[in-house]
Amino acid sequence: RKEVEQDPGPFNVPEGATVAFNCTYSNSASQSFFWYRQDCRKEPKLLMSVYSSGNEDGRFTAQLNRASQYISLLIRDSKLSDSATYLCAPRAYGGSQGNLIFGKGTKLSVKP
């Protein structure tokens, strides 16, 4: 099993749609999780942190399911500007220290 798996997509959705991405991780000891967005030929930018069961920030909701070892990202009322690749990143080791392991990302394209 790969350390972090994401559906590569692309997810093509119309403006205003709700879209959800899942990410599975293999290290059951991971304690903290992050979602990043990456625009084409740009660096990743931190979108959300997930430390417990979930987190919500405006149109974005992240949920963590430790038993099944996956995290999800829900985007409501999609905007054209949401078009990007979304990277899931659990911490590599247990505890609160150490590097993140990044998935290859899910590509989202929001159409008018």
Please report, as ranges, the residues that interact with another protein according to CB under 8 A. 32, 34, 42-46, 49, 87, 92, 96-105
* Both tokens assigned to 9: 């997509």
Q: CB nearer to another protein: give 17 or 92.
A: 92
Please state whether beta strands 11-14 and 60-65 pair in parallel, antiparallel, or not at all (unpaired).
Answer: unpaired
Please, what is the minimum distance in Å from the beta carbon of residue 101 to another protein? Answer: 7
Please, what is the minimum distance in Å from the beta carbon of residue 103 to another protein? Answer: 6
Q: CB nearer to another protein: give 4 or 78.
A: 4
- Residues 90 and 33: their CA atoms lie apart, in Å, by 4
Please, what is the minimum distance in Å from the beta carbon of residue 8 to another protein? Answer: 10
Torsion of CA 98, 7, 10, 41, to 10 degrees: 20
Please, what is the minimum distance in Å from the beta carbon of residue 32 to another protein? Answer: 7
Angle at CA 37, nearest 5°, toward 45 and 78?
130
Q: CB nearer to another protein: give 17 or 63.
A: 63
Q: Are 10 and 49 in contact (CB under 8 A)?
A: no
Q: CB nearer to another protein: give 55 or 78.
A: 55
